[in-house]
């Protein structure tokens, strides 16, 4: 991750420079309208499309695969494996099967960013990551991330593989990962907050939104973007209008007082 200025609208994910707003796709069904939405999202300038092996029973990945005839410039496609519930979900053989299926569904030879979705209580994270790293060494995965983890777990992971991104639950109300955000910023790791819009900014966010002629969702995103230059939120939407509003949040500059009022 390289930072351009004090309030960068872009950051670097491995070899790609991308806008700091993405698209979450955990409700994406494989319909013609959603295939069009993915194409329009890229045209509208999202910097990341976030999916997972588990989302909508595979339809999310399939929709993205159907929308993209080649890898888009300026937009990283990220997927995940080893999610869901149950012990053993991070076993090497389980991950290998999921990676093969994700490559097929995404219709690609190389996944730009692949996360271990959850640390498996039954498999040391080093073993799960070694299985993913095997694909990285063969060029079928380019960068590795890890999701819902502590600093200790990130450090363990980094002893085995380079970690390009961390994706943890973080928003205006859910702040248990403050130290992880700061760690990622220091260590040049992209921090992707999931459920970015589920927090509650209350009346304050509404007042700030009115002052900026913006929506409360845009202010929520502007706050996240201001919180750290390592932050790349992936708000989930099935609406092109909402998606464009989310990308436009990159242009909103909160004052120090506004930032602190929401902090």
Ligand X SMILES: NC(=O)c1ccc[n+]([C@@H]2O[C@H](COP(=O)([O-])OP(=O)(O)OC[C@H]3O[C@@H](n4cnc5c(N)ncnc54)[C@H](OP(=O)(O)O)[C@@H]3O)[C@@H](O)[C@H]2O)c1
Q: Candidates 140, 147, 154, 201: give the one binding ligand X (CB under 6 A).
A: 147
Closest CB 4 distance from ligand X, rounded Å: 25
Considering the rule CB under 6 A, would residue 195 count as an interface residue with ligand X?
Answer: yes
Torsion (CA) 113, 114, 118, 122 in degrees, nearest 10: -150
Considering the rule CB under 6 A, would residue 102 count as an interface residue with ligand X?
Answer: no
Verify whether residue 55 is a known catalytic residue: yes
Q: Among 69, 14, 78, which residue's Cα sits nearest to residue 46?
A: 78
Distance CA 100, CA 180 (A): 31
Distance CA 25, CA 93 (A): 26
Distance CA 224, CA 228 (A): 7
Closest CB 159 distance from ligand X, rounded Å: 22
Distance CA 2, CA 14 (A): 9
Q: Candidates 9, 12, 26, 71: give the one binding ligand X (CB under 6 A).
A: 26
Q: Among 217, 181, 178, 177, which residue's Cα sits nearest to residue 197?
A: 217
Q: Candidates 242, 248, 259, 261: give the one binding ligand X (CB under 6 A).
A: 242
Q: Candidates 234, 250, 254, 262: give the one binding ligand X (CB under 6 A).
A: 234
Q: Which is nearer to ligand X, 1 or 48 (CB)?
A: 48
Residue 155, classed as helix, strand or coil, is helix
Closest CB 34 distance from ligand X, rounded Å: 11
Q: Candidates 3, 130, 238, 261: give the one binding ligand X (CB under 6 A).
A: 238
Backbone CA torsion sign across 163, 188, 150, 198: negative
Considering the rule CB under 6 A, would residue 25 count as an interface residue with ligand X?
Answer: yes
Closest CB 27 distance from ligand X, rounded Å: 7
Joined together, the tokens standing for residue 17 give 């420079």
Binding letters toward ligand X, positions 36-75, x by CB under 6 A: --------------x-------------------------
Q: Which stretch binds ligand X (CB under 6 A): 37-45, 131-139, 152-160, 232-240?
A: 232-240
Closest CB 110 distance from ligand X, rounded Å: 20
Q: Candidates 7, 156, 198, 212: give the one binding ligand X (CB under 6 A).
A: 198
Distance CA 249, CA 263 (A): 18
Considering the rule CB under 6 A, would residue 145 count as an interface residue with ligand X?
Answer: no
Q: Among 140, 149, 158, which residue's Cα sits nearest to residue 117?
A: 149
Q: Among 34, 36, 78, 92, which residue's Cα sits nearest to residue 194?
A: 78
Active site residues: 55
Rule CB under 6 A: which residues touch ligand X? 24-26, 50, 117, 147-148, 167, 194-198, 215, 217, 234-239, 242, 245-246
């Amino acid at each position: 991750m390289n930072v351009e200025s004090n309030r960068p609208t872009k950051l670097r994910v491995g070899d790609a420079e991308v806008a700091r707003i993405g698209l979450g796709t955990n409700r994406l069904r494989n319909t013609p309208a959603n295939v069009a939405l993915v194409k329009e999202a890229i045209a509208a300038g999202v910097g990341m499309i976030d999916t997972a092996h588990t989302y909508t029973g595979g339809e999310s990945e399939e929709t993205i695969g159907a929308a993209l005839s080649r890898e888009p410039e300026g937009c990283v496609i990220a997927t995940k494996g080893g999610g869901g519930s149950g012990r053993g979900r991070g076993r090497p053989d389980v991950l290998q099967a999921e990676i093969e299926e994700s490559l097929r569904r995404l219709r690609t030879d190389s996944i730009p960013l692949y996360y271990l979705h959850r640390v498996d209580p039954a498999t040391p994270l080093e073993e799960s990551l070694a299985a993913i790293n095997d694909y990285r060494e063969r060029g079928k995965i380019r960068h590795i991330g890890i999701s819902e983890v502590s600093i200790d777990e990130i450090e363990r992971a980094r002893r085995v593989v380079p970690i390009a991104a961390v994706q943890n639950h973080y928003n205006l109300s859910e702040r248990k990962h403050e130290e992880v955000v700061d760690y990622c910023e220091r260590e040049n790791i992209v921090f992707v907050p999931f459920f970015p819009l589920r927090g509650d900014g209350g009346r304050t966010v509404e007042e700030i939104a009115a002052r900026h002629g913006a929506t409360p969702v845009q202010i929520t995103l502007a706050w996240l973007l201001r919180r750290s230059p390592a932050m790349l939120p992936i708000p989930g939407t099935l609406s092109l209008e909402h998606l464009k509003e989310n990308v436009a949040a990159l242009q909103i500059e909160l004052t120090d007082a506004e930032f602190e009022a929401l902090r």
